[in-house]
Amino acid sequence: MKSFEGVETLASASTNQYKLALAMAKRVRALRDGAPCLVPELENPQQNAVKAAMAEFAKGLISYTVADDQH
């Protein structure tokens, strides 16, 4: 599964894996709510939202930022 390998690479390079997981979870919810999938070769992205989100992050189609703590 190429998407998993890509996400694993992204996670190992990330300074905050928790924020990466939150960003992916948010994208999964958006896909399940009907947001268009950015990976056209996937079939039925609403039912395979986790796979679709992983593919989007692995291909660099979705980016996220880690905000500095405001403490």
Query: What are the boundaries of each domain within the chain?
Result: 2-36+43-58
C-alpha 64/C-alpha 16 separation (Å) is 11
Residue pLDDT tens, the chain, 71 long: 466 677 778 777 877 888 888 999 999 999 999 999 999 888 777 788 998 999 999 888 988 776 665 55
According to the model, what pLDDT value does residue 26 have? 94
Residue type at 44 in one-letter notation? N
> What H or E segment, with its residue span, contains residue 23?
helix 17-32
For the whole model, what pTM was predicted?
A: 0.78
According to the model, what pLDDT value does residue 63 have? 83
According to the model, what pLDDT value does residue 38 have? 93
Residue type at 54 in one-letter notation? M
Asked if 23 and 65 touch (Cβ cutoff 8 Å), the reply is no
